[in-house]
Amino acid sequence: MRKRVFISLLFFSISVVVLAQIFVILKYLEGEIYTIFDGIYWVIATITTVGFGDIVFKSTIGRIYTIFVMLYGVAFIFGFFFPYVVIPFAEKRLLFKLPEESSLKDHVIICGINRISKIVYLELKRIKRNCLLVDDDEEKVREALEEGFNAVISDYSLESFKKNNIEKAIAVILFEDAEKNLDILLTLKDYELDKYAVLNLPEYAKYLLMAGAKKVFLPKSLAGSQLAKFVSENIRGTVEAREITKGYGVAEICVSEFSKIRGESIGRIERNFDVKIVAVLKRGKVHFNPEKSLKVDVGDTIQVFGKMENIQRLFEEARGYF
């Protein structure tokens, strides 16, 4: 549809410029001087059959040209633009019924459609994870479908989630406002799957964690690819560590609600796992080379360096077992 509209507008613009140039030439032959802008003004006024009458041809050839431009305008607007662009666009908008259910399995349900949720969707698809975008805004769902995303319209009721195979989903990521996120978490409280929330207001994070969120992310410290990486790691049970030298690497590890290291100090973690914690992201603030006495808590992200097997062992403890 967008390609068709673009081609139509491009063709129309080129034809207007060509017809305007012919207008300038014909007027010059009548002994009058007009600019190309005057020509564009006359062509558009004539094509749209407005015809103010402030610029008219006196010669026979000029009047024949005027008749041609009027007929061309009528033919283009009613013979091409309306039937091939306007009407299909209107039908698609008015008659197309948005999907309400999906048959996906082993999928990640993403509630709320925005820029970051689309990035997360694409990142998860890149690593071969089935994804479904869900929203209660028809315009957002329609736009997502036009862009090629799997998307459905939903009122976030339990019945709606059941239509989208919540029983067979492996995770839910929430991108709505705090109140909607809380309602969704309470709706899905009986389902044992990982639930993640993205929140603009950090003061509501504790309520979402109490309602069942495994982790709450803050957009200020979040990139879509990082969130997708975190979800993927927890589904697989293995951390994505970047190897720096043989056998040693760097990884970012999030502390979950079920973590066995929550409340532990940086110094104790480093001793127990024989790693070096380079930085800690806590409530949107990054602590580089953190104090040994600093304690990690739910929602914190630690950047750690060490042997690959030690990093994996720390990841498993930080992730917890469900």
Listed residues 232, 249, 275: the one ending a domain = 232
pTM above 0.85? no
Same domain, 179 and 212: yes
User: CA nearest 132: which of 116, 113, 115, 147?
Assistant: 113
Residue 213 maps to which CATH number?
Answer: 3.40.50.720
The parent domain of residue 69 ranges over: 2-95
Question: Which range, 162-176, 191-205, 226-240, 245-259, has the best average confidence (pLDDT)?
Answer: 162-176
User: CA nearest 1: which of 98, 86, 96?
Assistant: 86
* DSSP conformational letter for 261: S
Same domain, 131 and 222: yes
User: Does pLDDT of 12 surpass 90?
Assistant: no
Using one digit for the tens of pLDDT, what is the confidence trace for 111-160?
999 988 898 888 788 778 899 999 999 889 989 998 999 999 999 999 99
Q: Average pLDDT for residues 27-55, to the nearest whole number?
A: 86
- Which structure tokens are listed for 104? 């996906």
Please tell me the total count of domains within the chain.
Answer: 3
User: CA nearest 199: which of 173, 235, 162?
Assistant: 173
Residue 7 maps to which CATH number?
Answer: 1.10.287.70
Residue 79, Cα to own-chain centre: how many angstroms? 37
Query: Strands across the sheet with 301-307, in order?
Result: 242-245, 248-254, 301-307, 275-282, 285-288
Tokens 């071969």, located at residue? 128
Q: Which residue has the higher pLDDT, 155 or 2?
A: 155
Same domain, 130 and 245: no
Give the three-state DSSP class for 227.
Answer: helix
Same domain, 25 and 85: yes
Per-residue pLDDT band for 316 (boundaries 50, 70, 90) equals: confident
Per-residue pLDDT band for 229 (boundaries 50, 70, 90) equals: low
User: CA nearest 29: which of 61, 69, 55?
Assistant: 61
